[in-house]
Structure 1
Amino acid sequence: MYTAERGSSVETVVVTASPISKHIDDTAAIIANVDRDAILSSGGGTLADALANVPGVSGSGFAAGASRPIIRGMDSARVKLVENGLSSSDVSDVGPDHGVPIDPLSTQNIEVVRGAATLRYGSQAIGGVINALNNRVPVTLPDKTLSGEAEAAYASAANTGEVSLLTDIAAGNFAIHADGFYRNSGNYGTPLGTQANSFFVGNGFALGSSYFFDAKDHTGLALVQYDAKYGIPSDTTYILMRQTKLISRSAFEIGAGPLQTLTVDGSYANYSHEEKNPDGSVNTTFKNKEGNVRIEQLIGALGPFSSMAVGFEASNRDYSAIGADSTYLYPAITNTFAGYVFADTPLGKRLNLETSVRLENVHISGTPASGLRTGRDFTPISGAAGLLYTATDWLKFGLTASTAGRAPAQTELFARGAHDGPGTYETGDPRLKTERANSVEATARVKTGMFSFDLSLWSSWFDNYIYGDQTGRTCDEAGICSVGGNDLRELFYRQSAAHFRGLEGKGRYQLWDAGTGVLSVEFQGDIVRATLAGGANVPRIPPWRAGGGLAWDSDAFDAEFQVMQVGKQTQYGAFDTATPGYTDVSARLSWPVMDGWEIDLIGRNLADQVERNAASFNKDTVIAPGREVRVVLRAKI
């Protein structure tokens, strides 16, 4: 609704980038925050769908139920997916056909962190962090005895129906949270006809409660269940996924000298999915049992530091598979222990220094193609320093330098066979070394009453960059390979120097203030270029995007219209294919029908363009949904 500060971050405090609480515009790197309104407007059953309008973020687009976020051209083991700071605990990093058991309908905010601030989450976050935020374990006592939100929606492209409910209850010293959702989508339509086997059905619930000893001290637990069934549109198989997760969150005010709040968060998840044939028979069952804990101590002013935080993190991951694809990756166990320090240091009235360092030990054991059980130990050390210069009340500049290490993932080390989802025959290398990214990022922010603009210019130089190198040969299920004639592309995990660089920007300018409403122009864009040593292209890098539109905000109604041009991808990896560009047209109309009730009418791909995702393994056979109209009804109490 109408506000002179729409699109700004007046009340937004970041929780992902640093354990030290600060305003979203007071960090050296730019952090994106997607709120509940934008999440519900986006539609789709994945986090990548909800982040489609964030510069620098795209999705793998493999299936309606499996589109993992990509940050600055980096995906899989380089992008950490967390829920309230704790691991998503799935196998989406093992294959692009594997979904993430976090539905946008259960999420209230999503933070996207890129650059040096990712050190808090370890070596598997070298490209960035996606943090889905919700109140499943309440961290504040509600102001009202009962509050909540209900939502129902219909979307035309796949005859999608969905409902969700979130509620919070205050009962004495207890805060109680419950949420649930159900989503049912058929095979979606495209400009070329119906995309076969593209359906998605998902549901889930959470029940959690916290006890508050006083306003600051609390401890709580939540039980979370997620279930989904979705088709693989480049195949005839479908996936039946389930996860049960237990989450705990606690915070205690120490109040001993500089020692302030101590937080202890942990989770344990039991995940499995079955890859099934059309007749219901099971090809492969993937399992993942994972636990993780994070302990952080916030420290007040100490010496030159205005605030500090010291943290410890530990995780255990037990992966296994049974069935036809189980030979692709034999059982693997990953144990991680890490310690980190964050500090803020004011260097005068207008200059602030952020520093962080992380020491991590990763032990991974598995069975490579040699058949000999192998264990590897890695000790990535990472550090970063960021300067924020506040030139005026409305202009800020940031500069960040970092060096971050990443331990190879289990797939990169131990893959040893056919993987039907992406259509590859993969071989890992148990001799891989620690991957290191040395990065620099410059940012600029402008925030005035009429104009806002965020800009990031960044570059990352990799040593021992790990990538899947296609040889041009194809293989059968037994690993017999030749030039052509088989279904599976031969791929080896190798290391090389690499250079990633890019630019991201987003802005808004107020054209007219009518007193009862404001008309603004919005614009955004991003570009990534990624090359290996010798100039070869890194595979599956998203193309450039640029666009904008108009937005009207008033008490009576809100309206937006946007045109986004997505470029051709002609700089593709070896044995890949070019991807044509397209123009995406979208619109939204939102109005309150009565107190607490709102209706949204949203149009996507209104020009009914053929949209192929350059970052997807199956882009040659799968295209995105065509023209869609989405209706959302929301009610709040």
Structure 2
Amino acid sequence: MVKTLALRLVVVLLTSVSAAAQTVTMQTVTIYGTVRDRVSGEPLPSATVSVLSTKIGAVTDKQGNYRIEALPIGEYQIRVSVVGYEPEVKRLVISATQQIDFALKPLSVERSEIVVQAEREKAILQESSQAIATLSQAELDKHRGQTLGETLRELPGVTILQTGPSISKPVVRGMHSQRVLVLNAGVRQEGQQWGAEHAPEIDPFAAAKIEVLKGAASVEYGADAIGGVIRVEPRPLPIDPQLKGELNLNLFSNNAQGAGSGLVEGKLGEHIGWRVQASYRRAGDAAAPQYFLNNTGFAELNFSILTGYKADWGEISVYYSRFSTELGILKSAHIGNVTDLVNSMQRLQPFFTEPFSYAIDFPRQSISHDLISLRANVQTDELGKVQINYGYQQNVRQEFDAHVPLGTDRSRRNIPAFDLTLFTHTADIRWNHHPVGNFLGTVGAALTVQSNHNLGRTALIPNFSATTAGIFWREEWVSENWTLNAGIRYDIRWQSASPFGSSRIAQQLARGEIPNRQTFQTVTGALGAIWQFASEWSLALNAATAWRPPSINELYSDGVHHGTAQYEIGNPALGVERSFGLDATLRHIGQRTRLELSLYRNAIENFIYLFPQVEPVITIRGAFPAFAYQQAPAVLYGVDGFFEWKVTETLQLYSSLSLVRAWNEARHEPLINMPSDRLIAGVHLDLPEFFGTEKSYLEISTTLVRRQDQYPRLEVPSVLPPTVSDPEAYQFYVQNLTLPPAGYGLLNLSSGTEFSLFGRRATFVISIYNVLDQRYRDYLSRYRYFADDAGRNVIVRWQMDF
């Protein structure tokens, strides 16, 4: 059945391409194309395309695309303009349908880039019924060299789940991992993301734009988008025939990290563009304010290649990226027995506080991720726009233990305890039909095929295979002050597991005592509305259902998870998560002020969570806190947003707020591991030009995190477990498993400037994070039982174009 479905989808894809190619040859007088920034290559929304001496024209959409139909044959002057750019006029003889692209030059005036970005954000924010946070290339340049989670952590509604200073993953409105879908170059990122310490394998230098869509988005993106979507886009195909490049160099004081990236791009002839990019990061032990976090260094090497062909009928591109890293796991997180575990939780410093080192010792991880993305966009006269994407990914994750059984050769530590290889194929097709009256719409289909293989000494999860297929339809009705949208989707997933290893659950699988094959299917829907009730104000409402089947680790885990230093126990009886979410977003964009405030409520049936057990597990590798997967109805609700005020032409104040509340309705208590309340406030000052510098600034901000007081309490059982030999230490262990650390406040500084060096643009930025070297432990840090978070970090970034 799965093979038949896959074959049918391939036939549909090939048929669509054939139909599109035939339609392109039709001789009708229509012009269409894309308007881009000549420097960055980014699309320009809300640009006006006018056919001079006529009343014919169009406005570009949020992808920078425009289309003008029913244009009489003749010679015309076509003018394109948008705020912050020099207008461009082309004189052309139009005798048949053709694609006409424009690349506008930014105005050479102070703050023009910020003006253009404001217009771009205005177009995006007022066209979505859900809250969207966007980081442009200019904003990303201020965070180059950091992980995806660290890059996004200052956005409202986004926090990070951290496993030491080198591993962080984004948390969107209290949800992460399989509940937040990451799209990388149009392909859904698949890389053992079920692990709390399994961060997205994405080069921090490769992204040109990142968008975070907050809230359920299953209609358009399928399962796993129950909490939101993070879209990571590389730079578009080069449109400038001149050979160009960019160099980035970063230095981090806290862990003596050095990071660098190089990029070269150009064009071959009229239609072919290409780009090659590579980056390297190397870091040693991170430093808490009073000691080093031993064995937290890492080494990372990444590269990517993009090439594509662009013609009148559209564009096709091929993108390949490789991410590879080796990183250490905090040595003090792996404890030998319960007494030492309790002592470690009570200590002000970890057991191991050795001098700084770049060495990566055991326990450690080695990860590689290969991605191939094939994308085709075909613009036709009759069908509209057809988008076809195919992705292939191979993720290899090896985790090396710090211990081996007694009497075993120590060299066996070089054999991975876990050795997982995940293969993923994804394919999707989308048809964006031409406007029908006030209606715009998209019809699409998607297919994902996966297989996972164990090769290590032990196993946390079994071998498995999974196939997911879905179809959706989404329509939007647009008028002057109202935008209404609705969508519906059907998904089905087949997955099967085969036993590997000798764990209890593996043996039950082998004996057929628990099911190894499952089929999940559902229908999801969404309704949205945007009302622009004033020139500078709009109100967006969204209601959506979403779903997520239980993942393999939630069903079948049974063993020590080395990266998080905990013993995880799966639950084969888990059912499908289903959610119903409501969002309301108020937006304001004025001449000097900007505001976005979102209220949301997400009711989730069968919410799956990892809950601590009162008895730790003793293994041959040591003593580990035990966590078991459970399921209960839950409600998550909260508020997030930002406010910006341009007090003068050079002074700007800003703030953002994130609050989440989550309630376990079965246990009548808060859900565990929800983000603490967070407030960010800052001052941005533009500095005068001097000695050839421009766009200089100084920024001061503070991050205030409230102690989490919404957490479940554990009770010491009346009958102690037989493994407990120290009742007092055991009582401390149980009472502190869920106890949050104190709240904290951090002061941050940043200053940067641009200048000309050898006739080329160069940027210099220096930032200081945690200026006062404050000691703290974040509630979402997986190492908060053992050590403080990292202290002061001075970051120097240098970028140069050539």
* TM-score over 0.5 for the pair: yes
Per-residue CA distance 1:441-479 (angstroms, 9 max, x = gap): 110111111001111111111111111232312123489
Per-residue CA distance 1:241-289 (angstroms, 9 max, x = gap): 1122222111111321xx2111111111111122125664432212111
Other-structure match for 2:613: 471
Question: What does 1:18-167 align with in structure 2 at a 5 Å threshold?
Answer: 23-42=124-143, 45-93=146-194, 95-135=195-235, 138=236, 140-167=237-264
State how many pairs are aligned: 610
What is the aligned counterpart of 1:567 among 696, 706, 721?
706
Is 1:488 the counterpart of 2:650? The answer is no
What is the aligned counterpart of 2:769 among 604, 614, 625?
604
If each structure's helix is expressed as a fraction of its own residues, which one has the higher value? Answer: 2
Other-structure match for 2:497: 366
Q: Which amino acid aligns with 2:213?
A: V
Task: Give the deviation of 1:400 after TM superposition.
Answer: 0.8
Given that 1:522 and 1:549 are in contact with CA atoms closer than 8 Å, whether structure 2 keeps it comes out as yes
Q: Which amino acid aligns with 1:227?
A: S
Per-residue CA distance 1:115-141 (angstroms, 9 max, x = gap): 244532221110111121103xx5x45
Other-structure match for 1:538: 671
Q: Which amino acid aligns with 2:487?
A: S
Given that 2:309 and 2:317 are in contact with CA atoms closer than 8 Å, whether structure 1 keeps it comes out as yes
Question: What does 1:515-594 align with in structure 2 at a 5 Å threshold?
Answer: 518-533=650-665, 534-553=667-686, 555-574=694-713, 575-594=737-756
Q: Which amino acid aligns with 1:612?
A: R
If each structure's strand is expressed as a fraction of its own residues, which one has the higher value? Answer: 1
C-alpha spacing 1:584/1:118, structure 2 compared with 1 (3 Å): farther
Q: Which amino acid aligns with 1:128?
A: G
Question: What does 1:201-350 align with in structure 2 at a 5 Å threshold?
Answer: 201-214=299-312, 217-233=314-330, 234-235=333-334, 236-256=362-382, 259-277=383-401, 280-302=414-436, 306-326=439-459, 328-346=460-478, 348-350=479-481
Given that 1:413 and 1:428 are in contact with CA atoms closer than 8 Å, whether structure 2 keeps it comes out as yes
Given that 1:380 and 1:404 are in contact with CA atoms closer than 8 Å, whether structure 2 keeps it comes out as no
Other-structure match for 2:275: 177
What is the aligned counterpart of 1:3 among 108, 111, 136?
111
Is 1:633 the counterpart of 2:798? The answer is yes
Given that 2:419 and 2:456 are in contact with CA atoms closer than 8 Å, whether structure 1 keeps it comes out as yes
Given that 2:539 and 2:585 are in contact with CA atoms closer than 8 Å, whether structure 1 keeps it comes out as yes
Question: What does 1:509-520 align with in structure 2 at a 5 Å threshold?
Answer: 509-513=645-649, 518-520=650-652
What is the aligned counterpart of 2:639 among 503, 515, 518?
503
Other-structure match for 2:541: 399
Other-structure match for 1:412: 554
Moved more, 437-446 or 532-541: 532-541
Given that 2:283 and 2:299 are in contact with CA atoms closer than 8 Å, whether structure 1 keeps it comes out as yes
Task: Give the deviation of 1:549 after TM superposition.
Answer: 1.4
Given that 2:249 and 2:260 are in contact with CA atoms closer than 8 Å, whether structure 1 keeps it comes out as yes
3-state DSSP of counterpart to 1:124: coil
Task: Give the deviation of 1:572 after TM superposition.
Answer: 2.3
Task: Give the deviation of 1:147 after TM superposition.
Answer: 2.9
Task: Give the deviation of 1:40 after TM superposition.
Answer: 3.5
Given that 2:750 and 2:765 are in contact with CA atoms closer than 8 Å, whether structure 1 keeps it comes out as yes
Moved more, 400-409 or 1-10: 1-10
Given that 1:407 and 1:433 are in contact with CA atoms closer than 8 Å, whether structure 2 keeps it comes out as yes
Given that 1:43 and 1:49 are in contact with CA atoms closer than 8 Å, whether structure 2 keeps it comes out as no
Given that 2:145 and 2:281 are in contact with CA atoms closer than 8 Å, whether structure 1 keeps it comes out as no
3-state DSSP of counterpart to 1:356: strand
Task: Give the deviation of 1:11 after TM superposition.
Answer: 4.9
C-alpha spacing 1:335/1:56, structure 2 compared with 1 (3 Å): same
Given that 2:111 and 2:695 are in contact with CA atoms closer than 8 Å, whether structure 1 keeps it comes out as no
Q: Which has the larger radius of gyration?
A: 2
3-state DSSP of counterpart to 1:464: strand
Task: Note the residue ranges of structure 2 that are not aligned, 5 or more in a row.
Answer: 1-108, 335-361, 403-412, 499-504, 688-693, 714-736
TM-score by length of 1: 0.91
Given that 1:365 and 1:374 are in contact with CA atoms closer than 8 Å, whether structure 2 keeps it comes out as yes
Alpha-carbon distance in structure 1 between the residues aligned to 2:447 and 2:155 = 31
Per-residue CA distance 1:567-590 (angstroms, 9 max, x = gap): 111322454121211111111111
Q: Which amino acid aligns with 1:333?
A: S
Other-structure match for 2:102: none
3-state DSSP of counterpart to 1:609: coil
3-state DSSP of counterpart to 1:432: coil
Per-residue CA distance 1:74-106 (angstroms, 9 max, x = gap): 11111112202312221132x223232102111
Larger RCO (alpha carbons 8 Å, 6+ apart):
1
C-alpha spacing 1:439/1:263, structure 2 compared with 1 (3 Å): same
Task: Give the deviation of 1:13 after TM superposition.
Answer: 7.2
Given that 1:65 and 1:99 are in contact with CA atoms closer than 8 Å, whether structure 2 keeps it comes out as no
Task: Give the deviation of 1:25 after TM superposition.
Answer: 2.9
Alpha-carbon distance in structure 2 between the residues aligned to 1:619 and 1:119 = 37
Alpha-carbon distance in structure 2 between the residues aligned to 1:498 and 1:7 = 43
Q: Which amino acid aligns with 1:320?
A: H
